[in-house]
Chains A and B, each alone.
Chain A
Amino acid sequence: MSCECWLGSGPVHVPSREKPPLLLEEVILASVLRENCSKVVKILRVLAPLTKYRYVKRIKPVVPQLVQGSQASNEDGMMMLEVVVCTIQRREGGGWLSQEDRRNTKGEGEGLWSKVPPSLKAELAPLVKALRVGHVPALAPEDPDQWEDWNQVWPVSYKIPPGKVAKKSATIEVGEDERRKMAAHLGLARDLAHRTHNKGCRNAAVIVNPETNEVVAHGVDETSSSSWGGGEDRTPHPLRHAAMVAVEKVAEGIRAWAAKRKRDSELPQDEPYLCTGSDCYLWREPCAMCAMALVHSRVRRIVFCVPDGERGALGGSFRLHALESLNHHYEVFRWPLDRRVVE
């Protein structure tokens, strides 16, 4: 086993979709005495439902000294709450119920009250101490971490989507034992990529059965080799990328197995289907051709070291595994090299 010191701190899951960043939506917040709060919320529920922002909690308790300069802070010993009235942008589902309201609100004069839908204004005015502009997250959080972070901005709720453990952007953690196995296979990929090419390293692919941790096949970039496809002295083949070569070797193995089974009926009836369930370790991030070849081969997981920010198909130029129409999706991990090695 090779020393792992060339690898960086650990594998990074490349989710099929980037987590959405925190975007803020400008809203009008009303300071309300606690005793009036339920009335206000009742009114808002009817006249200004936040259908587009269901995850946004309507109420937030206020620590008095934080509400600087507003009248609310002067209320002695009175518990104040802040309530989301509506979005400042006149959006449907953002507390703006009727089209008329959206059209007619001028947004000028009288401070913030002029930005509130007229139908609401009459009902709310007697119950509200002050209005101010605030922010809520513009999107629902996608995982517990995000939920925790975004709660700092304004209270939001997080729901695990029905039938799913987490959204697609959720990251997968790799255990210690699995990490060691990953590192060893990446070590083999690295050695193969370096050993076979004295003119700088190219790429190598190692296909592993994760159940047995056994290397099923490996291949190196053969684009400048004149022996390929079972023939010698041929024109070098521009498509003999490492992953293509490795997949072909797996196929050779299955064909040999199928031929053997014809003679030996003792062998199980179910032939392995392509690379189903196997993991592919690559030195470099695969190109579009190789990444798709691994989809066709039904690989379970791909791990690579060196990213290709310009042409890579698994996070570099695009994320092939994020294309929903494909009939198969694998997990992708990138294990960055140690900084010292890169230098």
Chain B
Amino acid sequence: MAPATTAPHREDPPATTSSEDSLFTDRERGFMRLALAEAEEAYEVGEIPVGCVLVRRGEVIGKGQNRTNETRNGTRHCEMEAIDGVLIGFSQNSEERQSREAMARFWDEVDLYVTCEPCIMCAGALALMGVRTVYYGCSNDKFGGCGSVHTVSADGCGKCGGGDGSPALGFDCRKGLFAGEAITLLQNFYIKGNTRAPKPHRKHLWRDRRLEQAERDGEGGGDRGDGLVE
């Protein structure tokens, strides 16, 4: 009954087939749809379109979308936003605020649904929080911390000398839920171009051509492929 992987490996090909979606329950698909909606909102406001929801006991307790451009802070990924939101929400008298154990128990019932594989930073953060399972859509071949580039999800994360000093353990991962949708969003974003990021050295030629192509397609032109060949 446990599909996809719990122990990610570098060799895993990026999961993009929509057939994998069928390995997930309706409930899981529902939560990932909410994460996709967050990603779409991010796209609308010119942020990198990645979104997530945090779920505990079948309820959404937090959601986030990437805000790196707005905040001018490259670490404000959607996972960080969602975690901050949950922590701010704890009332003064909640049991979780009173005891460390209660806090750990709380996060051990939390699952994350995120459209793209958490980067190494976010995977570290999720290990530090102690979440239970991370469901993600597409793999992240450049930054992924759940097996694509590094295995923080399995190794856990240090505490830089802070906290109680005990190491933070890893978490389970299940990937491939609505990977195609997540990739499409990201592709659309990068064709449009991240206006805030510094200009890449060589990629602009490629991007411009893709942009031309996209515009041509938008106008209903049928010359497919023409714009891609020089």
Contacts and interface: CB of A to CB of B under 8 A. Distances in A.
A295 B125 CA distance: 15
A88 interface: no
B206 to A, nearest CB: 16
A223 B124 contact: no
A203 interface: yes
A235 B160 contact: no
B160 A241 contact: yes
Contact of B120 (A223, A241, A320): A320
Contacts of A292: 119-121, 124, 143, 145
B142 A326 contact: yes
Interface in B60-92: 68, 71-76, 80, 83-84, 87-88, 90, 92
Interface string A216-247: 00000101100001010111011101111001
B159 A293 contact: no
A284 to B, nearest CB: 4
Consensus secondary structure, chain A interface: loop
B70 to A, nearest CB: 9
B175 interface: no
Given A221-B160, A289-B124, A320-B120, A239 B80 contact: yes
B84 A284 contact: no
B227 interface: no
B35 to A, nearest CB: 20
Contacts of B156: 311
Interface string A306-324: 1010111100111010010
A282 B162 CA distance: 13
A288 B145 contact: yes
B158 A313 contact: yes
B89 to A, nearest CB: 9
A129 to B, nearest CB: 51
A315 to B, nearest CB: 12
A287 to B, nearest CB: 3
A288 B120 contact: yes
A276 interface: yes
Contact of B149 (A235, A243, A274, A325): A325
A283 interface: yes
Contacts of A201: 161
B121 A255 contact: no
B149 A311 contact: no
Contacts of A326: 142-143, 149
A298 interface: yes
Report, as a range, how many residues of chain B touch the other chain. 35 or more
A208 to B, nearest CB: 18
Given A235-B90, A237-B84, A311 B120 contact: no
A327 B84 contact: no
Nearest to B124: A289
A278 to B, nearest CB: 12
Contact of B87 (A237, A274, A290, A316): A237
B88 to A, nearest CB: 6
Interface in A264-302: 271, 273-274, 276, 282-293, 295-298
Contacts of B128: 238-239, 289
B96 to A, nearest CB: 7
A312 to B, nearest CB: 6
A251 interface: yes
A290 B160 contact: yes
Q: Which one of B75, B119, B120, B125 has the greatest number of beta carbons of chain A within 10 Å?
A: B75
Which 10 A-B residue pairs are closest in the complex by CB-CB distance? A311-B158, A289-B124, A287-B158, A251-B73, A292-B121, A296-B74, A221-B162, A292-B120, A288-B124, A254-B72
22 contacts: A223-B159, A224-B162, A224-B163, A229-B88, A235-B96, A237-B84, A243-B160, A251-B71, A251-B76, A254-B72, A284-B161, A287-B159, A287-B160, A288-B121, A288-B157, A289-B121, A293-B74, A296-B74, A296-B75, A297-B75, A308-B158, A316-B158
Given A289-B120, A292-B119, A325-B142, 17 more contacts: A223-B159, A235-B88, A237-B87, A238-B129, A239-B125, A243-B160, A244-B75, A248-B75, A271-B72, A283-B161, A288-B120, A288-B123, A288-B152, A291-B120, A292-B124, A296-B74, A316-B158
Interface of A: 193, 201-203, 221, 223-224, 229, 231, 233-235, 237-239, 241-244, 247-248, 250-251, 254-255, 258, 271, 273-274, 276, 282-293, 295-298, 306, 308, 310-313, 316-318, 320, 323, 325-327
